[in-house]
Structure 1
Amino acid sequence: MVNTEKFITEAIRRIQEESKGEKVVIALSGGVDSSVCAELASRAIGERLIPIYVDTGLMRKGETERITEIFGHLGLKVVNAADEFLDALEGESDPEKKRKIVGERFIRVFEREATATGAQYLLQGTIYPDCIESEGGIKSHHNVGGLPLTMQFSGVIEPLRDLYKDEVRAVAEALGLPREIAHRMPFPGPGLSVRVVGKVTREAIEVVREANAIIE
């Protein structure tokens, strides 16, 4: 199990070192992985961190409002890109292709935001199982196997890349994050698109969103 105190100290140092004094954008989804990254980066580089929440139109019911409420103190910027993602996914039925489409769109959105803010680096909440599943051909994660081959960033910073999910949760608790974040149920990066069986349509997304809310 991870030594949380030692890990936090080392992660902060690594973020400071790898960001090289430049601005950094982080994809803050509200899941435990990206939330831990955001807290670590906030402590590491302060106002050089630009946290961005992308509303892909594929989120859980009420999620955008709740994430805005929880992370507003970090100066969170909300980008409404629902039409962009839904247009790109329209009619796609293959789960792997859905993941790659979402991965591509995510990067393009963050490239635009980075250009607008002068950020040079992208910080992601990639964890070890993401790498295992993507590199082993099990499934492509939008932040690993789903990444496009060319990006405008000087680099990608991934402080959690060597941790498992239970270790990330332990770090979240050590950082003092709310329990609802530290123990949040995992949700796929491509969102509701991969919970739609068959072709993605706006109607199908809404049906699955309501069903997900009922189950949760």
Structure 2
Amino acid sequence: MRFDILTIFPEIFDSYINESILKRAQENKIITINTHDIRKFSKNKHKKVDDMPYGGGAGMVMTPQPLYDAIKHIKKTNKGPVIFLTPSGEMLTQSKVEKLSKKYSEIILLCGRYEGIDQRIIETLVDIEISIGKYVLTGGELPALTLIDAMSRLVPGVLGKDESHEEDSFSKSLDRKKEYPHYTRPANFKGAKVPEVLLSGDHKKIAAWRKKNLR
């Protein structure tokens, strides 16, 4: 799985993608994550990537030229869809993550800033618009990380055991419900005890308890 991220703040990604599961997956060449600075594609002598919106209003809009050139450059080697992270996009769900993971092995993630990006880029170069919730962030970087993390978990070999994600919250095997409660040692912590059935060793009863306690 390959991810190419277009952003004006590539350093934001460094700490998260270079730790834990994503770090190991990259070291094992199971996934590839590349960040690209949109400013480097700007033809403005000051590397400016935003301007005032036509029609007036507060805030700035990302200009089309740097975005156009950046996307065209990445598409020379990445044939996947361009996904724009935006509050107006389709809501991201586990089902959507599964569909994207099955359909694509390469993805280009476009992170907007300010008031957004020029609509002409959305109409001509963006294939999919995705939102991670009904709220507004200062940029698309956190949503991009969310999508990368969620999709990477489904790539064979990324997790210690591939079946680890099969009973995640909202997975198909759990009927898209939230996962059952989890417990570990000690069996009694400050008077709060682990349900007896989980200590019984009876796998059939444990499975029934877990199914009953889906949230």
TM bucket normalised to smaller: 0.3 to 0.5
Instruction: Give the TM-score taking structure 2 as reference length.
Output: 0.34
Structure (1 or 2) with the greater strand fraction: 2
Structure (1 or 2) with the greater helix fraction: 1
